[in-house]
Amino acid sequence: MKDINIVAFIPARRNSKGIKFKNRQKIAGVSLVGHALNFAKKCNFNEIIISTDDEYFYEHKEFSKYCHRRDGKLADDQAIIADVVRQYSLDINRRNDFFVVLEPTCFVRKKSHLDFLFNGDFFLKNKATFTSFIESPIPKEKIWKYKDGKMIPHADVWKRRQEYEKQYSLSGHYYGLFLVNIDNIYPSLCEDDVYPLIIDDDFHIDIDRKVDLDIARAILSK
């Protein structure tokens, strides 16, 4: 583990469809990127990178020393996070880096979530990636599809909730991967045999709409 460069990677695109300048928005007086950065500082990362095309973060001293300028083609609506991370894998000096993606829109993060990484346990499990999950509030069997003007239910839509197995969805809190493996899993950020980090805290949210931002502000302010 001593030879592994563990990097906190914070993607901070300037534009956003849902909320204008979303990554600049503040909760409890701190921007979304600021929350991700503060979390990274509390952990034992060897390096912190803020990947951004937003001049706002370059102009503020608290962020600027961590900023890496993102190419314009990787900052439009067509680019995905895997595209941005993949660019770093082209640097031969980074091929063995272990990147942990911290999306600024995800709350709440706790330092203890990553104990398994920094105490070395993860690297003993013969896994190349880890990803955070939350228990899905809606079983997939309860979700109806809309096709050709008709609502189509799953065959097991009318079961009692207790009869469904537990199901999980990506939480967005963390994606951990060795850069050398990204071409094998692209456009994903994790392999099928991923190490699952289950986030079971009472409050978790991924800010995509203004209402999500309002909810996070209300809860974190308390």
DSSP state, residue 71: P
Which pLDDT belongs to residue 87? 94
pLDDT higher than threshold 90 for residue 204: no
Domain that holds residue 173: 6-133+168-220
- 194 found inside a domain: yes
- 153 found inside a domain: no
What are residue 38's DSSP bridge partners? Answer: none
Mean pLDDT of the chain: 92
Q: What is the mean pLDDT of residues 144-161?
A: 91
- 139 found inside a domain: no
204 compared with 149, residue with greater pLDDT: 149
The number of folded domains in the chain is: 1
Q: What is the mean pLDDT of residues 156-160?
A: 88
Which pLDDT belongs to residue 46? 97
174 residue type, one letter: Y
- 152 found inside a domain: no
Which pLDDT belongs to residue 138? 86
- 195 found inside a domain: yes
- 1 found inside a domain: no
Give the separation between CA 168 and CA 188, rounded to whole angstroms: 17
pLDDT higher than threshold 80 for residue 202: no
Alpha helices in 99-209 (DSSP H): 115-118, 182-185
Alpha helices in the chain (DSSP H): 32-42, 55-58, 61-64, 81-89, 115-118, 182-185, 210-220
CATH, residue 33: 3.90.550.10
88 compared with 3, residue with greater pLDDT: 88
- 111 found inside a domain: yes
Which pLDDT belongs to residue 132? 97
Q: What is the mean pLDDT of residues 190-197?
A: 95
Which pLDDT belongs to residue 1? 58
- 118 found inside a domain: yes
> What would the pLDDT profile of 2-61 be if each residue is shown by its tens digit?
689 999 999 999 887 778 899 999 999 999 999 999 999 999 999 999 999 999 999 999
